Amino acid sequence: MADGPASVAVVDVGKTNVRVSAALADGHVVETIGTANAVLPGPPWRHHDLAGLGAFVFETLAALARRHPIERVIAAGHGSGGVLVGDDPDAGGDGAALPMIDYEQPLPAGIAEAYAPLAGDFLDRGSAIMMAATHQARQLLWMERDHPDAVAAARFHLGIPQYWAWRLSGRAVSEASFLGAQSHLWNVPARRFTPIVHTRGWERLMPPFAAAHADLGPVRPELARRFGLPAGMRVHAGVHDSTANAYRYRAAGRGDLMVVSTGTWIVALAGDVPLDRLVEARGMTLNADVDGRPVGGALTMGGREFAAIAGAQPDGAVADPAVAAALIDRGTMALPSFGDNDGQFPGTAGRGRIAGPPPEGPAERLALAVTTMALLTVACLDRLDGARAVVLDGSYLRDPLYARLVAALRPGRETLSNAESYGVAAGAALLAGHAVRTAPVELALERPDPFTHPGLVPYARAWRAAAEASVPPDIARRDRT
């Protein structure tokens, strides 16, 4: 094992990419290696390549351990994936009883109709019933309908982080922050399983709960021998990715901040939000923090909107503020929603459009996309608590204009940013040291210089009005009631 300060390995499973990082105990990420989160076509459905990912994860952990003194490993993952598994993670292959469903594929006939009456109310689910094959409960229902024998023979259903903890340690657990991230399996405020779990008899698939930071024991000896992993490396239970990101602010003594994670999704999370403020139709969610306590959320699939608006861009391209100003002056707007997710504007999925003179060329498309991401972010924040202090982080901060626009759109309110681009890995690494931390960690936050342009606020007001006008009238009426 390499010499130096003790390190934590983090396996961060996103929808698009999987990254394995080495981080110090203070959350500082020192090395990251990534790969695409490949999706295979099936049968029986589009599914993630868990066997291929296993080889990547274990070989990369071993390589990092040769360069860094890794003593612990923890996984984080997006909330829309789970794996049905057998008894033994080393019985061959990836341990899955059925392939892991890709949540972005369309549902087969009959599943949506069968699922809706079983799914409980908003507080049970923690979200609206969302697009495609989102929600682990709906995926389980699909598996059970089409492959009842495989489900009957399965031992556990595990969320993404707990699946990797199981493969590493051999111990299966459930965890509140992950099940509380729109799995539709866990009622966060009541701290109980949802009605569909009881109706379908799925309690037998749910292993005992453990805290996200819980030490599940050492890496399995045979796995360590096979891949050259540190024999004494301890495995932690794992956590929902955006919750891990939020945890690093709590670890720094800034649990008061509303946290915006950006990537495939724009996810805003805030504690102490009254439950009656959460509007199901408006992309709002009821999540759980690492202690299982309720957290309000507002989200939209910004990454898909960005790609649709920006189109192909040169590597490393950033938006030109002057180009953004010109688009604002001529009233060019990208109105929701280009992707399959309604986000903050119900009924708009797949109905996105450009209003005003269309953007010309890659530079204008990029500036319009970044401006739209800022507008969507502020829409999420206003839904949760527009007056609260906010910290922005994630991949959108690679473009300086994004944070400047958000700051300008929130005059008189505290807007901070975190230039550390591996927030999930940093937060998860800090979580692995939760039980032994005795003082807040240091965290370098910046105050973005607001983008000053006289037309911005009127433009934002017009954009919001036009976006609201895109909501079908019948849905708007239901939302108001």
pLDDT at 42: 85
Tokens for 438, please give them. 């005795």
H helices within 90-130, ranges in order?
111-115, 122-125
Beta bridge partners of 393: 261
Q: Which residue segment(s) compose the domain that 421 sits in?
A: 253-479
DSSP state of 432: H
pLDDT at 303: 94
* Amino acid in the structure at residue 302: G
For residue 230, the Cα-to-chain-centroid distance in whole angstroms is: 29
H helices within 271-418, ranges in order?
302-310, 321-330, 361-385, 400-408
Q: How sure is the predictor about 474, in pLDDT bands with cuts at 50, 70 and 90?
A: confident
User: Does any domain span residue 1?
Assistant: no
Averaged over 213-241, what is the pLDDT?
Answer: 96
Averaged over 268-279, what is the pLDDT?
Answer: 92
User: Does any domain span residue 146?
Assistant: yes
- Quick: pLDDT tens for 408-418: 999 999 999 99
How far is it, in rounded angstroms, from Cα 14 to Cα 438?
Answer: 31
How far is it, in rounded angstroms, from Cα 304 to Cα 373?
Answer: 11
| Whether residue 208 is found in the same domain as residue 263 | no
Sign of CA dihedral 299, 303, 307, 310: positive
Residue 155 DSSP SS3: coil
pLDDT of 477 > 80? The answer is no
| Whether residue 334 is found in the same domain as residue 295 | yes
- 319 touches 370 (CB < 8 A): yes
pLDDT at 481: 47
* CATH number, domain with residue 133: 3.30.420.40
| Whether residue 200 is found in the same domain as residue 257 | no
- 376 touches 333 (CB < 8 A): no
Q: How sure is the predictor about 479, in pLDDT bands with cuts at 50, 70 and 90?
A: low
| Whether residue 470 is found in the same domain as residue 337 | yes
DSSP string, 224-235: HHHHT--TT-EE
H helices within 42-110, ranges in order?
50-67
C-beta neighbour count of 386 within 10 angstroms: 14
Share of the chain above pLDDT 70, in %: 98
| Whether residue 308 is found in the same domain as residue 225 | no
Residues 6+ apart with CB under 8 A from 334: 305, 309, 352, 353, 354, 355, 368, 369, 372
φ and ψ of 247, to 5 deg? -60, -30
| Whether residue 136 is found in the same domain as residue 174 | yes
| Whether residue 263 is found in the same domain as residue 213 | no
User: Does any domain span residue 448?
Assistant: yes
Q: Among 208, 242, 276, which residue terminates a domain?
A: 242
User: Does any domain span residue 3?
Assistant: no
| Whether residue 22 is found in the same domain as residue 81 | yes
How far is it, in rounded angstroms, from Cα 308 to Cα 218?
Answer: 44
| Whether residue 126 is found in the same domain as residue 52 | yes
Tokens for 16, please give them. 């698009």
Q: Among 242, 275, 301, which residue terminates a domain?
A: 242
* Amino acid in the structure at residue 205: L
H helices within 2-135, ranges in order?
50-67, 111-115, 122-125
- Quick: pLDDT tens for 284-330: 999 999 999 999 999 999 999 999 999 999 999 999 999 999 999 99
User: Does any domain span residue 384?
Assistant: yes
Mean model confidence pLDDT for the chain: 94
Share of the chain above pLDDT 90, in %: 88
Tokens for 357, please give them. 């003179």
For residue 18, the Cα-to-chain-centroid distance in whole angstroms is: 12
User: Does any domain span residue 344?
Assistant: yes
User: Does any domain span residue 2?
Assistant: no
| Whether residue 444 is found in the same domain as residue 360 | yes
| Whether residue 470 is found in the same domain as residue 339 | yes
- Quick: pLDDT tens for 115-142: 999 999 999 999 999 889 999 999 999 9
pLDDT of 4 > 70? The answer is no
Beta bridge partners of 18: 13, 35
Write down the residue that tokens 């005003």 correspond to: 356
- 260 touches 283 (CB < 8 A): no
Range ranked top by mean pLDDT from 262-271, 365-374, 384-393: 365-374
Indicate the burial class of 196 (C-beta count within 10 angstroms; 0-12, 13-18, 19 or more). Answer: buried
Q: How sure is the predictor about 91, in pLDDT bands with cuts at 50, 70 and 90?
A: confident
pLDDT of 405 > 90? The answer is yes
Q: How sure is the predictor about 1, in pLDDT bands with cuts at 50, 70 and 90?
A: low
| Whether residue 211 is found in the same domain as residue 282 | no
Q: Among 242, 268, 295, which residue terminates a domain?
A: 242
- Quick: pLDDT tens for 229-263: 999 999 999 999 999 999 999 999 999 999 999 98
Number of domains in the chain: 2
User: Does any domain span residue 247?
Assistant: no
Element (H, E) at 239: strand 239-240
DSSP state of 50: H
Tokens for 378, please give them. 């502020």
* Amino acid in the structure at residue 261: S
